[in-house]
Amino acid sequence: MNARKDRLKSLFAGEATDDSTDTPPSAAPANPEAAPKRATSAAVKAMGLSLGSLSQEAEEGRRLRDALAAGEQVVELDPALIERSPFADRLSDAAANDVDFDALKRSIEEHGQQVPILVRPHPEPQKAARGIYQIAYGHRRAHAARALGRPIRAVVRALDDTELVLAQGKENAERRDLSFIERAFFARTLIDHGFDRATAMAALSVHKSEMSRLVQVAEIIPPHVARAIGPAPKAGRPRWMALGDLIATDKAGLAAEEIHSDAFRNADSDTRFQRLFNRLQASAHTRGPAPAPKPTPITTQSGATIGELAKTGKAARLTIPESAGRGFADYLATRLPDLHAAFVKAQADTEPS
């Protein structure tokens, strides 16, 4: 038994075992430099892929059993009677911007839809009376089944809007993760629809600071640009922030020109991001540095100037003139720690816990 376990360990480590040799596994070769390098065989790689597939199928089976154990019935629905979630969370649509969609479609075609989607009766009474449903999660499976002309297997559950977005976010975290920009716009969508930040953070499984970063990016990237680029899974927050800064200074309309070009449209999502970024960056270098912004005067109630605030990039500079009073700059410097502590407290009080 122990020998068999050792052989299995050796196999998964990519090591070859030879039953014909009498040399113990721990024995070193006479000439270590002459020992051949071991390589993982194609069979072992295939076995790893098979085990990964089995793991995924086991997880899908667990989900189905959980639904049945909860007393929820799996039904087959006409694709024409199913609408998307009102809270968009992806920049892909069927095969558009989704490189894995064709594989999903083939899997459903060959093996059927193994895992049902989750839907709710449409919240509008007129549509609910006509038997129309809204998807909580499973948009990709629904697209694939619709493309194949098959009914969609679904679990129907009564959900309010909060329950729907929480189920939608949980499913995204457990299956195909959203890219950074998809998460950013999902966060913005939830906030724009009136959800409080606590609900949005729970749906996205993020903390306050990450939620703020997501919303910040969604505010500087125009929605039509994000939709044109797509999910761009390789681009994270710093790259999207940099692109937003470049778009803000694009006075020549190069972004619009690029996203409507054939080369842009025919590229994959990550390449589209890079094309637009490179073009705007090259234009920015040609223009040279932007002129320094004009300082903002700080005045008293009577109108006397006691300082000027100049913002450049991520920094700000406060200038205190002598006319504000001798020693005022030093006095202000000693009060800054207290002012900052009050600012931090005010920020914390405005965010949900």
Q: How many Å is the maximal CA-CA distance in the chain?
A: 98
Q: For residue 212, which of 227, 202, 197 has the smallest C-alpha distance?
A: 197
Segment 225-246 shows an average pLDDT of: 92
- Cα 79 to Cα 72: distance, rounded to the nearest angstrom: 20
Residue 105 structure tokens: 């479609």
State residue 108's pLDDT score: 86
- At position 318, the amino acid (one-letter code) is L
Query: Which residues does 61 contact at the CB level (< 8 Å), separation at least 6?
Result: 114
State residue 224's pLDDT score: 92
Coil, helix or strand at residue 23: coil
Taken in order 296, 302, 305, 309, is the CA torsion positive or negative? negative
Q: Which CATH architecture has domain 178-287?
A: Orthogonal Bundle (1.10)
353 or 289: which leads in pLDDT: 289
99 or 260: which leads in pLDDT: 260
Query: Which residues does 207 contact at the CB level (< 8 Å), separation at least 6?
Result: 201
What are the boundaries of each domain within the chain? 48-177, 178-287
pLDDT over threshold 60, residue 28: no
- Cα 15 to Cα 266: distance, rounded to the nearest angstrom: 44
- Cα 353 to Cα 345: distance, rounded to the nearest angstrom: 13
Render pLDDT for 287-337 as a digit per residue (tens, 0 to 9): 666 566 778 888 888 888 888 888 776 678 888 888 888 888 888 889 888
Is the distance from CB of 230 to CB of 97 less than 8 angstroms?
Answer: yes
Render pLDDT for 263-292 as a digit per residue (tens, 0 to 9): 998 898 999 999 999 999 988 777 666 566
- Cα 290 to Cα 86: distance, rounded to the nearest angstrom: 41
Residue 168 structure tokens: 């939608």
State residue 13's pLDDT score: 45
CB neighbours of residue 147 within 10 Å: 17
Segment 121-136 shows an average pLDDT of: 91
> Would you list the DSSP string of 161-212?
HHHHHHHHHHHHHHSSPPPHHHHHHHHHHHHHTT--HHHHHHHHT--HHHHH
- Cα 281 to Cα 348: distance, rounded to the nearest angstrom: 36
Burial 17-54 (b: 16+ CB within 10 A, else e): eeeeeeeeeeeeeeeeeeeeeeeeeeebeeeeeeeeee
State residue 193's pLDDT score: 85
Burial class, 195, CB count within 10 angstroms (exposed 0-12 / middle 13-18 / buried 19+): buried
State residue 39's pLDDT score: 43
- Cα 248 to Cα 283: distance, rounded to the nearest angstrom: 13
Lowest-confidence segment of 72-76, 95-99, 113-117, 276-280 by average pLDDT = 95-99
For domain 48-177, is the CATH number 3.90.1530.10? yes
State residue 243's pLDDT score: 94
Q: What is the arrangement of strands in the sheet containing 133-137, beginning at the earlier edge strand?
A: 74-77, 152-156, 117-121, 133-137, 82-83
Segment 62-72 shows an average pLDDT of: 50
State residue 299's pLDDT score: 86
Q: Which of 43-52, 58-67, 233-242 has the highest mean pLDDT?
A: 233-242
Residue 81 structure tokens: 């009677």
H or E stretch covering 102: helix 101-111
Lowest-confidence segment of 15-24, 50-59, 227-236 by average pLDDT = 15-24
pLDDT over threshold 70, residue 45: no
Render pLDDT for 183-218 as a digit per residue (tens, 0 to 9): 899 888 888 888 888 888 988 888 888 998 999 999
Q: How confident is the model at residue 172 (pLDDT cuts 50, 70, 90)?
A: low
Residue 284 structure tokens: 């920015």
Segment 142-171 shows an average pLDDT of: 88
